[in-house]
């Protein structure tokens, strides 16, 4: 297996990681990333297969577990109940309960809200250059999640702050300052959600939180801790990813003069420049995959952004083709951890971006877009535009 070095905090890499992906993919399906001290899958075939391989998973093997530092206990108390970090049988139980509430009918019913909100935000756009991330991409997912859960929209700024501080724990530039902010956000977020859970237990409403409380599978319900974590996961994962996908997508379309939003163009946006580039897993038994041996206890990385640009899977993969046909992209993960919020993300992208380009067909860039200095995530710091 070939070794490669590439600092995940290098500014040039952060702005454009795709050349590195191309170089390592040329060496095979798997490579060893020295900076992470970790084997990574880089081809579409390998990433797709290993995301579904039950011999790997998200839950830390017992022998690899380390004591949690006291200052991070609030964060990991929430993380401990996340279905994103669990395997069967607990993962199956949690996911089944969440899917009973997070139905396709409930998601589809949000289309009108997304369209109305998009129009309201566009009505407020100034005539001079402005940041589309702050003015449009960031508010839509958090307001939609607030309406879906039944929590006040006037707390959106708090939810955004808590979400950003917690999600920063998964970035390559993690520091003690980032950890302290995540712990503080976890404590405040939990207190906020617990209050609404208690209120909904006494007086259920027509919202997702009430449905989650009522959901039952073979006599099992979500505990308060599980409810808290599930609500936070829905906000953190759904909001963070959709903001970046929408911003990256608008940037890509404006750079190429594309304005039509269809189901196919939404899938191409999700493939071409996804918001999450690495999904890590643990190896649960000694195995041989794609000609290489992996040992129990190894951490393993699936490079989603690299898989989506694999020329073995997609013709001219570095070209944005709004009518592209091809295999399913890996941006939402795969297997039992396939993103539960994928249908909502697709709906938000199609409706919101459709309204944006219908209302403002002359929208154009007003500066060189810059990606935020983070990895594994890949999203814009800002997207300065004019209405044209």
Residue 199 CB contacts under 8 Å (≥ 6 apart), including other chains: none
| 191: Cα separation from own chain's centroid | 24
Indicate the pairing of strand 38-41 with strand 299-303: parallel
- Could you read off the pLDDT of 245-298 as tens digits, one per residue? 999 999 999 999 999 999 999 999 999 999 999 999 999 999 999 999 999 999
- Could you read off the pLDDT of 187-207 as tens digits, one per residue? 999 999 999 999 999 999 999
- Could you read off the pLDDT of 13-72 as tens digits, one per residue? 999 999 999 999 999 999 999 999 999 999 999 999 999 999 999 999 999 999 999 999
Question: Residue 309: pLDDT band by 50, 70, 90 thresholds?
Answer: very high
- Could you read off the pLDDT of 162-184 as tens digits, one per residue? 988 998 898 877 899 999 999 99
Which tokens is 77 given? 């108390």
Backbone angles phi, psi at 75, to 5 degrees: -70, -50
**Closest C-alpha to 318, from 13, 16, 12:** 16
Residue 293 CB contacts under 8 Å (≥ 6 apart), including other chains: 286, 287
The C-alpha atoms of residue 14 and residue 90 are separated, in whole angstroms, by 36
The C-alpha atoms of residue 25 and residue 33 are separated, in whole angstroms, by 12
Domains recognised in the chain with CATH numbers = 3-386 (1.10.630.10)
What one-character DSSP code corresponds to residue 37?
T
- Which pTM does this prediction carry? 0.94
C-beta separation of 302 from 276 below 8 A: no
**DSSP annotation string for 115-137:** HHHHHHHHHT--SS-EEHIIIII
Q: How many CA atoms lie within 13 A of 169 on its CB side?
A: 21
Which tokens is 306 given? 């690299």
Backbone angles phi, psi at 315, to 5 degrees: -70, 135
| 344: Cα separation from own chain's centroid | 12
């Amino acid at each position: 297996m070939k070794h490669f070095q590439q600092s995940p905090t290098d500014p040039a890499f952060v702005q454009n990681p795709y050349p590195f992906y191309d170089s390592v993919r040329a060496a095979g399906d798997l490579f060893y990333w020295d900076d992470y001290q970790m084997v990574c899958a880089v081809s579409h075939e390998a990433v797709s297969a290993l995301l579904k391989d039950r011999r790997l998973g998200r839950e830390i093997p017992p022998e690899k577990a380390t004591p949690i530092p006291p200052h991070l206990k609030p964060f990991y108390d929430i993380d401990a109940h996340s279905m994103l970090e669990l395997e069967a049988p607990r993962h199956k139980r949690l996911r089944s309960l969440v899917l009973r509430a997070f139905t396709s009918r409930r998601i589809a019913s949000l289309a009108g809200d997304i369209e109305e909100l998009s129009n309201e935000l566009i009505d407020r756009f100034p005539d001079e250059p402005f940041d589309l991330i702050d003015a449009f991409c960031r508010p839509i997912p958090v307001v939609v999640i607030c309406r879906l859960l039944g929590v006040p929209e006037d707390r959106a700024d708090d939810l955004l702050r808590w979400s950003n501080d917690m999600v920063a724990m998964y970035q390559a530039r993690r520091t003690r300052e980032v950890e302290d902010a995540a712990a503080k956000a976890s404590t405040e977020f939990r207190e906020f959600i617990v209050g609404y859970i208690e209120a909904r237990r006494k007086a259920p409403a027509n919202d997702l939180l009430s449905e989650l409380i009522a959901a039952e599978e073979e006599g099992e319900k979500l505990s308060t801790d599980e409810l808290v974590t599930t609500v936070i996961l829905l906000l953190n994962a759904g909001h963070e990813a959709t903001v970046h996908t929408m911003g990256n997508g608008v940037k890509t379309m404006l750079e190429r003069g594309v304005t039509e939003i269809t189901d196919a163009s939404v899938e191409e946006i999700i493939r071409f420049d996804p918001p999450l580039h690495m999904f890590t897993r643990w190896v649960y038994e000694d195995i041989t995959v794609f000609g290489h041996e992996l040992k129990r206890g190894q951490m393993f990385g699936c490079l989603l952004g690299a898989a989506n640009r694999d020329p073995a899977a997609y013709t001219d993969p570095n070209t944005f083709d709004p009518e592209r046909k091809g295999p399913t992209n890996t941006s939402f993960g795969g297997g039992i951890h396939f993103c539960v919020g994928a249908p909502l993300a697709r709906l938000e992208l199609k409706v919101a971006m459709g309204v944006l380009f219908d209302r403002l067909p002359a929208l154009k860039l007003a500066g060189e877009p810059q990606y935020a200095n983070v990895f594994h995530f890949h999203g814009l710091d800002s997207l300065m535009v004019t209405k044209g």
